[in-house]
Structures are given as C-alpha cells and as structure tokens.
Structure 1
Amino acid sequence: MKQLRETFAHDTWVMPYLRKYKGLLILVLFLGFMTFFSGGALMFNSGYLISEAARRPSSIIYIYVPVVLARAFGIARPVFRYIERLTSHNWVLRIVSDFRKKLYQTVERKATTIQRSHQTGDILSILADDIDHIENLYLRTVFPMVIGWLLYLFVVIGIGCLNWVVSLLLVLLLGIIVIIMPLASVATNGVREFRQHQIQHEFYTNLTDEVLGLGDWLISGRYHDFMKLQEKPIKAIAALRRKDHFYQWWRSFFVQVLVLLSVLVLLIWSGQSLTGSKAAADWIAAFALAIFPAVSPFLNMSQGMSEWPVYQRSIKRVNQLDQNQPREVPQEKLSGNFEALKIDHLTFKYPDGDRKVVNDISMTVRSGEKVALLGPSGTGKSTLLKLMVGDLTPTAGKVMINGMPVSALQKNRAELFGILDQQPYLFDTTVMNNVRLGNINASDDDVKKAIEAVGLKSLIESLPEQYETHVQEAGRRFSGGERQRLSLARILLQDAPIIILDEPTVSLDPITERRLLDQVFALLKDKTIIWVTHHLAGIKHVDQVRFLEAGRFDMQGTPETLYQTEARFRQLYDLDRGKSVSNN
C-alpha cells in the first residue's frame, strides 16, 4: 500500500486521466460486473431448471419462467461481454492516445535534456514498452481486480443474508483467492515478472545501440561476440518464463481447489437447509453451480497483481521524463581562440544502468593536436565523444574548453566543433545547399572553393546540373567516399577549431579509406582533431593514441612509442598495414 501511494504521489500521467474519464471507467466496471453476474445467474437458474425439470412437473408452466430466464441470461452474458470489451478498449485507447500525445510533446519540448540522460534504445523502450505496460495496467490489473472484489462482496453479502456462518466460511475461502493470493503473487512471482521485464528492457536498449553500430561489429570481425551478447539475455528470459509458467500452473490449481471447497461448503449447507420439501431441494444445484463463473475473474486477479511491479516501474519511468530533467546551465560565449580541451576525471553511467560506460578518464587536447581514440565496440568511445561535445551530462568530472565547461557553450557549439561521422547528414537538396550548411552565410564562391579543396570540383562540374545537382535522400546520388568528401567540404566551410572524426571511413574500401584520411589530415592540418577509429590505418597522422577498454584508457602514447613498447599495438599496426599493402 505504501508503494502504491509513493507511485502515485507525484504522478502526472495516470491519475489525471483516470479523473478525466471516470464516467466511462464506472461504465466499464459495471459492464464487467454484469458479464460475470449474468454468467453466475445463468448457472444458478440452470441448476434450478435442471432440478425442477427432473421432477417431471405436470405442466410446462412450472418451468416456463426458468426457461425464459435461461435464455435471457444466456443472451445477456455475451452481450454484456461484447459491450464491456468495446467500452474498456475505447476507454483505454482514449487514455493511451493522450499518453502518446503527451510523451511526444515531452520528447519534442525537452529533446536535448532527454538525450543527455537517456540512451537511444532507452527512449525507444519508453515509446514501445512503457506506454503499453500502462495500457495493460488497466486491462489486466485494474479491471480484473475491481470486478473480482465486486463479485466477492456480492457473493458474501448474498449468502450472508441467508446464513451468516456459511458467509464467514466463504469470506475465508474466497478471501484467500481475492486477497491473499494476489499479495503472494506480487511477493513471489511479481519479483520474477519484474526481473524478466528488466532484462527485456536492457536487452531492447542495448540491442538498439548495438544495431546502430552493427557495421563496427562486422568490420572488426566480432560477429560471434555480437551474437553471444544477444544469447545471454534471451536464455535468462526463457528460464524466468519457465519458472513463471510453473508458478502459474500451481497457483491456478490452488485456486481451483479453493473454489471446489467453496462449492462443497455450499452443497453441504444447501443439502442440510433445503431438503425439507421437494420444491426447496430444487435450489441445491442452483447455489452449487453459481460459483463456477467467478473462477475466471478470480484467476485473473492474481495474474494481474503479479504484473504490478512492471507497471509500477513504467509509471515511474514516464514520470521521470517530467521530474528529473538536468539543470539548465547559463550559456556563455568562448572568448579568444581555442587553446585546450580538458577532460578531468570524467565518469558516466546511464540512469537505469549499473555499468560505468566512461570510468574516471582524464586527458588534455591542445590546439592543433591530433588524437586517436581506439578500442573495440562497446568500450565507451562514442559515449566519450558525446560527453566532449555536451550531448551527455557526466555523472562525475567535467569537460572544459579554455577553462569553461562545455555545457555552458552549447548555444555556440557549431562554432567550436565540426563532426565527420560514419553516416554524413546529406539532405535531398542540391550540392550547393548541402555544403553551405557548414556556414549559411558563405558565398557561392566560398562553397565552390571548399568543394574544390576536397577534390570534387571536376566531378561536380561534369554533371549536367553541376552544383545544383540533387544529392537525393541520404546522398544516394554519390558513392560513400564522395559523400564523406561533401561532408568534409561542409566542415571546411564551417571552420571550427575542433574536428571530431567518428569512424568516417568505416564503410569505405581500404584504398578509398587511405586516400580520404590523407586528404582529411592534410586539409585540417591546422585544426585540433579527435579521431575515433577501430583500427590503425592512417595512425601516422596523429600525435597521440589512446586505447579505450571498459571505459578506461588501457594504453596511451605516441604511435612511435607504442609501437616500440606495446606488443598489442605493434600486432594491430602490422595487421592493418599488411591488409593495406595487400589491397594496393
């Protein structure tokens, strides 16, 4: 109960919509109750009808009313069920529609701060899973629990009007089903349900991020490692589901036993109380059979409650989108020329994760320096880049430019950082427009000079529309190397002092890769370059190398020093050099 109050104490997602659609909710619960009431009334009436008909009444008129009632309740049950399904889904879809609208508005309004505190897969998990969990909260927990309690009270009060001793016995027997069993399900199976959904959420989040970097896995030859990472959570989920099914079977069996005991209590009571005359004896079967339709809602109560921890977590997660936004940092402008980017004891982990993706890293990159960050996929290279440019807020430590925190320079970030990554952002517009994105105030001559500098002048001018040629969506009009050169021309036009190279050659063949790297470092010789890569082709261009492993720097130094002192570096360098030579 305490957890329930804490969950909804500051809730802005669930309770407001419950109040908004309370009229429809009451109608849904009424229709749900009437569905099972009609089923119970049908069994009650049928028990009486069968007993009365077995006595062979002299006239059909004696059983005419029970026959009509059997037809009425037989029709009423599916009708109430159908209307209840339509109404409940209409109610849920209205609420879910409001949820999704609010979620999209929240993500749109606070895109930057959400990006700093959530992984891409985490946001997709909220969109895909948490809203559905809240939807199931009503369909699989709230509705069955309320309807089950209403039936429980109806049966207990109804029997209590006839015999309070029997009513007390039913309070105990049915109370175990509607109160004790749901609480036991939360305490035992609920933990397992929560763990299963937690593993599933982590799997969803990690898989999304890993698929976004799938090319990295394939190129580094770690296909089997990628597959093993996916097998572990799948096996864990399968094991938990087997335990869940085993528990559900025994829980269902126990509920059936309790229902059987309730039926025996009613049979014994009715057998002792209603055998004074033949007419009264006709009611014995009626009372015994009436309890059976309640089995289904009683079973659903325990299952619905066992899933509460999952729904509770989803409610907390969507509320965190409103409540736990990072503090806004006053923005400033960098005065003077860029001198140094300093990373001071930087640590980062995602809010829902235990692992430190970046773990106490420190380094300084001075103006004009060229730094290579190496390491296998999943070691924190991309996360470190996001921390450097301010896309993520560190858990501990800081990133500073000329002594100023990078978080305070976000409004002028385009003046500080130029980024060339695996998939350059090329839009379905002209070559001229795409390159001019680097500096929207640049003249046509400046754009053409940038294109000439990257070696694309002759190619572009050979096209029928020349600089007005449409690159098509994602730059499909050009090859991978040509797309990267167009993006490089944009960076030249941008003229930012710090250039981030996030594996820009990962999809290129070795010859194109070597030529592009030579060109990049030649054109940007006066810039500060931070280059993320997974192998050592072109490493001769950098001043220092940092190997990242499990969020920490494992090796660091100049390429020459590392080649002399580190066998691992020497082996990787010779391997990449051998591949390069064999492809020439």
Structure 2
Amino acid sequence: MNNIPLLKAFKKDTWVKPFLKKYRKALVLALVLGFLTFFSAGALMFNSGYLISRAASLPENILMIYVPIVFTRGFGVSRPVFRYVERLVSHNWVLRMTSQLRLKLYTTLEKDAIFFKRNYRMGDILGLLAEDINHIQNLYLRTIFPTVIAWILYAFLIIGLGYFSWWFALVMALMLFIVTFLLPLWSVLVNGARQEQEKQLKNALYTDLTDNVLGISDWIFSQRGQEYVQLHEESEAGLLKVQDKLRRFNRRRNLLLQSVFGIIVVLLIFWTSQQFVGNHGGAANWIAAFVLCVFPLVDAFAVLPDAAQETNIYKDSLERLNDLPEKADIEPVTALTGPLDIEVQDVSFRYEKGTRQVLDHLNVTIPQGEKIAILGRSGSGKSTLATLIRGDLIPNSGQLTLAGVETYRLGDTISDYIGVIQQAPYLFHTTILNNLRIGNEQASIEEVWTVLERVGLKELVEKLPDGLDTMVDEAGLRFSGGERHRMALARILLKDTPIVLLDEPTVGLDPITEQALIDTFFGQLDGKTVIWITHHLQGIEKMQRVIFIEDGHLEMTGSPQELAKTNVRYQKLKAIDDGR
C-alpha cells in the first residue's frame, strides 16, 4: 500500500525489474537469511530471559536449565553468522545488479550520446551516474529487503502468539500493524513528497553547480561572480529548509514509534503475568523471556517508516533511467560534396521541457574559409551553438547543416571535417608520438616533426631524453598550458580538418603566452574555417567577423573594425578587456 508510486514505476521498468528474475535465487536467500538473523536475535533474548529467571529461582535440578543454556549458545552463535552471511549475499546481489546497471548506462550514453545530450546537461549525466544508480542500490538494501523481512516477522510473531492466546495475538497484530503499515503510510503521505523535493533540489543543485563550475571563467569575465554565489546560496537555502522539515517530522514520528513499542512491552508484562501464573515454574520466568525478545525485534520494524518514505526517491530514479531516449536510427551519410558552408537556419534549442530557450530562432551563415568569433556571457548559448555545430546535439527546431547535411547525421565522421581545441586539451598517458597520431594514425615520423615545428614544439621535444617516444604523464601535466594547446593544434594539423573550432583555448594563460598562442593558431590555420568561442577580445582583430549572442539571440554582428567604430557595446567590451 505504501509503495504504490514505486509499484507504478516498476510496471513499465526495463532497467531494474529484469534483475529480479535473473538473480531471484540470491534474492530469496538474502530474505531468508535476514529473517533468520532477527529470529535468532529474538530467540537469543527469549532464552536468555528465561534462563536468567529460571536460574534465579533455584531450580531443583540443574538439568532443568540445561536446554535453555544450549539454545542460548546456539542462537548466540547463529545470530552473527546469519547476519554476516546475509550481508554478503544481499550486498553481492545488489552490487552485481548495479554493476550491470552502470554497464547498461555507459552503453546507452556511448551509443546514443547525441540524443541523450539533447535533453540532458553534463550535470544531469553525472547525476545519473552518481545519484540515481546509488538510489537504486539503496532501494533494495534500505527498503525492499528490510520491508519484506519485517512483513515475514510480523506474520511469524502473530501466528506464534496465537498459539498461546488468540485474543492477545489480535492485540499485538493491531499494535504491530501501526508500526508496520500505518506509520510508514503516514511517512509517505507527509514526508515522502518532501524527500522527493529534497532529491529534486539536490539534482538541480548538482547539475547547476557542475555546469557553472565548468563555465566559471565566463561568470568571472562578465563580472557576475557575486550573482553566481547568490544563486548558489539561494538554492542551498531552499534545500536546507526542506531538510529541516524532514528532520522535525522524523523526530515526532520516531517518538510515536518508540511509544508504541513501550506500550507493547507493558502489554507483554501484563499478559505474561496473567497467562503463565502458577505454570512452568512461575510467571517471572516467562515475563523476562517475552519482554526481552521484543528489544532486538525493534530494529527490524523501526526502519520501516524511513524505508517507506524513500520510495518516492527511488521512483524518481527509476523514471529518470527509464526515460532515457531510445537509440534512433540515423541514415549513414557519405562523403560531403560542395563548399563546406555552415548554415544555422532558424535554430531553437532547450535542454529540458519547461526550461528557457538556450537558442531562440538563431540564424547564422559561416562560409567555408571564414574566421569568425562568437562572443557572449555565460549561459548566452554560444557553447551550445558550438556543440550543435559539432553534431553533439540536435536542434529542437530549425536546421544546422554542413555542406547541406545536418551535422548530427555525420556521426563519427564529423571528426574528418571539424577539429576542436578545448579549454583544457587532454594528453593521454602514452608517448608524445601516440598522442599526436590520435587524429591520423598513418602519419609518418617526418610529418609529425613538421607539425611540431609549425606549432613551435620541435626544439622542446628534441631536447627530451626519448624524443617522440617520451612518455606523457596522465593528462599531460608535465607540459604547460600553452604547450598542451600547441600539442592539440599539432593533432589537428596532422588530421588536416578543413574546419577548426576553438572553444576558449586561451583561458587561464598569461597575456604573453596567450598572444603567442593566438599568433600560432591563426598563422597555422590560414585558409581554414576557424570558429572561435571566446569571451576575451585579445587577438580579435585577426577575425573576419564577430557575432555576439545574448539570451539565444544574435545581438550584433560585423567585422572587428566596423564594430570598434560603430557599436557602443563592443567598444565597452573592448575597453574592459584592455583594462581601460
């Protein structure tokens, strides 16, 4: 009853449900071991209570307490053994399942990256990997396993008490019904929505924080650093408010739960004193036995309210996984013919339904061979436009074409036409030669040395002990930022792509290194189409055209010389950039 939202999500689930059947034997074994753990704990306290009371009453024969001693030893050993084995089995089951889930998620992202990124940002992807898979793992460890085990214990206890007294069994059935069903249902109705809201706020915070950190340079450049901090603090304040409400409700509910168990203990004392008076050596022997066995069983039932209210979190995670886009069929595209012009025709794009338009009916034409700079503050849409040009995203409406073919249809062959140099070019933990040949594995040694000379790294590499066979540290940390960018340029020159996309490659470099790198870039990329995503105007005079994107719209366009004379906004940006 309290898991209805989760059950609805399970009906159309294709991610988690298949593993219930695949690993059903381990699942059943984990549940049985969990029940035996709590049964052994309760039986241990039952026998211990009886043994203590019976021994204190000076039995006529020591053999009368021998059997309780044996049972106490047996249950004392079996409880930790069952607990240990249950943990091994349940965690092994869950880890095997989640490892398969991660593999399936990685496969989905790898095969359908274009369609996935159409609806999700980088923070969403990390959220799926870091949050939702862990929530699915907790679905079993913290909700399904404890709930099913508690239900089995509930039935077992009521049947066992019914053997002694049917009316008292009904009383206990009612009391345990409050703990097993009513309190969890109350938690779902009152706190479940809050917990789901908490998860959504965390997901949003995780997504925004990831994207904003990746674009922190834009925030700083646009002098909106304080605004960024304020937005983050507002998001955190909303999350803390929801968490405070959760904690206050949990404290009240836990007080009620402990009160119910207190009433159960009082009822057991009353019932055993009446039920066993004058029998089996006196009521005191059985009072201790029945009352003490309650305390280890509290652990089995006390977790149910928390387990129930978390089902909304798991429902959301299941829905996010099952809402991942199916692989779409794309007709293969042969080699492009004709001028490699880029046409952005009435393109609109947003990442999720209900969010603002990142690009709104944008129109831009980039002829083959043109050098164009794309400016804009953080969130203006310039990076999204670059991603669309690479074919990593699909417009919600409009078309973005290269030589008349929509870029996303080019698939992996897009790398034959567009080379990219990003903010932080990655060098792999292999030789310099292998790093440079990534774009063109057939390149000769002579060609490699030629491009190294063109980018100004030949002398540096010649001085290294092993030359081209020198191992590069992970991420290329042995090289400076400027040197890594020159390595990336050398890759592109070996690949000889006709279009080069520079995604803010000079961020974080000192002015001298930046200017030297800009000179190298545009000196070696002569004749190619160059698309420069930047917020920094140093070297902008080397471009043939500058466009400025604001809130998804094209706000200004023209040559640097024209804008410097006629556009007040450009003049202000240039003055800020020059430090005037």
- Normalised by the length of structure 1, the TM-score is 0.85
- Compute the displacement of 1:386 (Å): 0.7
In structure 1, distance between residues paired with 2:466 and 2:54: 95
Contact 2:342 2:400 in 1 (8 A): no
- The answer to whether 1:366 aligns with 2:367 is yes
CA–CA separation in structure 2 for the residues paired with 1:73 and 1:493? 73
Aligned to 2:339, what secondary structure does the other structure show?
coil
Which residue type is aligned with residue 154 of structure 1? F
How far, CA to CA, are the matches of 1:225 and 1:567 in structure 2? 25
Alpha-carbon shift at residue 472 of structure 1 (Å): 2.8
Out of 106, 111, 127, the position equivalent to 1:125 is 127
In the other structure, the counterpart of 1:396 is 397
Tell me the residue number matched to 1:316.
319
Is residue 387–residue 394 contact of structure 1 (8 Å, CA) maintained in 2?
yes
CA contact (8 A) 2:455 2:486 kept: yes
Q: Residue type of the partner of 1:501?
A: L
| Counterparts in 2 of 1:299 and 1:333: CA distance versus 1, 3 Å | same
More divergent stretch after superposition (222-231 vs 526-535): 222-231
Could you say what secondary structure the match of 2:15 adopts?
A: coil
Which residue pairs with 2:304 in the alignment?
Answer: 301
The residue type paired with residue 182 of structure 1 is P
> How many Å apart are 1:425 and its aligned residue?
4.6
Pairing 1:96-245 to 2, within 5 Å after superposition: 96-110=98-112, 114=116, 118-214=120-216, 224-225=226-227, 227-245=229-247
Higher mean C-alpha displacement, 382-391 vs 368-377: 368-377
TM-score normalised by the chain length of structure 2: 0.86
Do structure 1's residue 472 and structure 2's residue 472 form an aligned pair? yes
For 2:559 and 2:321, locate their aligned partners in 1 and report how far apart those are by CA, in whole Å: 47
Q: 1:477 to 1:140 in 2, by over 3 A?
A: closer
Q: Structure 1 residues 378, 279: closer, same or farther in 2, change over 3 A?
A: same
1:291 aligns with 2:294: yes
Give me the whole-angstrom Cα distance separating, in 2, the residues matched to 1:398 and 1:550: 19
Q: RMSD in angstroms over aligned alpha carbons?
A: 3.5
**Deviation larger for 28-37 or 370-379:** 370-379
> 1:533 deviation in Å?
0.6
- 1:249 correspondence with 2:246: no
- What is the CA deviation profile of residues 377-397 of structure 1, one whole-angstrom value per residue up to 9, with x for unaligned ones? 343322221111101223333
Distance in 2, Cα, partners of 1:305 & 1:95: 22
Which whole-Å deviations, capped at 9, do the CAs of 1:126-159 have from their partners, x for residues lacking one?
A: 3333332222111111111011111111122222
Shifted more, 233-242 versus 382-391: the winner is: 233-242
Kindly provide the CA deviation profile for residues 81-110 of structure 1, in whole angstroms up to 9, marking residues without a partner as x. Answer: 233223323333333344344444444555
Residue of structure 2 equivalent to 1:481? 482
Aligned pair count reads 576
Q: Judging changes above 3 Å, is the alpha-carbon distance between structure 1 residues 82 and 371 closer, same or farther for their aligned structure 2 residues?
A: same
Cα distance change on mapping 1:166 and 1:408 into 2, 3 Å: same
Task: Name the residue aligned to 1:339.
Answer: 341
Residue 15 and residue 484 in structure 1: after superposition, are their counterparts in 2 closer, same or farther (change >3 A)? closer
Task: Give the SS at the match of 2:546.
Answer: strand
**SS at 2:333 equivalent:** coil
What is the distance in 1 between the residues matched to 2:446 and 2:26? Answer: 66
What is the alpha-carbon distance in structure 2 between the residues aligned to residue 509 and residue 256 of structure 1?
64
The 8 Å contact of residues 348 and 396 in structure 1, kept in 2 or not, is answered as: no
Q: Which runs of 5+ in 1 are unaligned?
A: 580-584
Paired residue type of 1:148: A
Match of 1:582 in 2: none
Give the match's secondary structure for 2:300.
helix
In 2, Cα distance between equivalents of 1:91 and 1:566: 65
Report if aligned partners of 2:5, 2:311 keep a CA contact under 8 Å in 1: no
The Cα shift of 1:341 comes to 2.1
Q: Distance in 1 between matches of 2:535 and 2:456?
A: 26
Is the Cα contact below 8 Å between 1:346 and 1:362 reproduced in 2?
no
1: CA distance, partners of 2:478 / 2:422: 19
Q: CA contact under 8 A between 2:432 and 2:472: conserved in structure 1?
A: no
Measure the CA separation in 2 of the matches of 1:409 and 1:244.
50
Deviation of residue 60 (structure 1)? 3.8
With over 3 angstroms needed to count, the CA separation of the structure-2 counterparts of 1:495 and 1:264, relative to structure 1, is: same
Q: 2:388 maps to which residue? A: 387
Q: Distance in 1 between matches of 2:40 and 2:109?
A: 46
Offset of residue 311 of structure 1:
2.0
- Contact 2:6–2:311 under 8 Å retained in 1: no
Deviations 1:467-512 (A, max 9, x none): 8474834555654434434433444454444331211222322233
- Provide the secondary structure at the position in 2 that maps to 1:336: coil
The verdict on how the C-alpha distance between 1:462 and 1:145 changes in structure 2, with shifts beyond 3 A counting, is: closer
Check the 8 A contact 2:118/2:351 in 1, yes or no.
no
Residue in structure 2 matched with residue 512 of structure 1 by the alignment: 513
CA contact (8 A) 1:417 1:498 kept: yes
Deviation at 1:399, TM superposition (A): 1.0
Deviation at 1:303?
1.0
1:1-40 equivalences in 2 (<5 Å):
3-40=5-42
CA distance in 2, matches of 1:456, 1:17: 54
Q: CA separation in 2, counterparts of 1:227 and 1:512?
A: 30
Contact between 1:346 and 1:397, CA under 8 Å: does it hold in 2?
A: yes
CA distance in 2, matches of 1:519, 1:42: 79
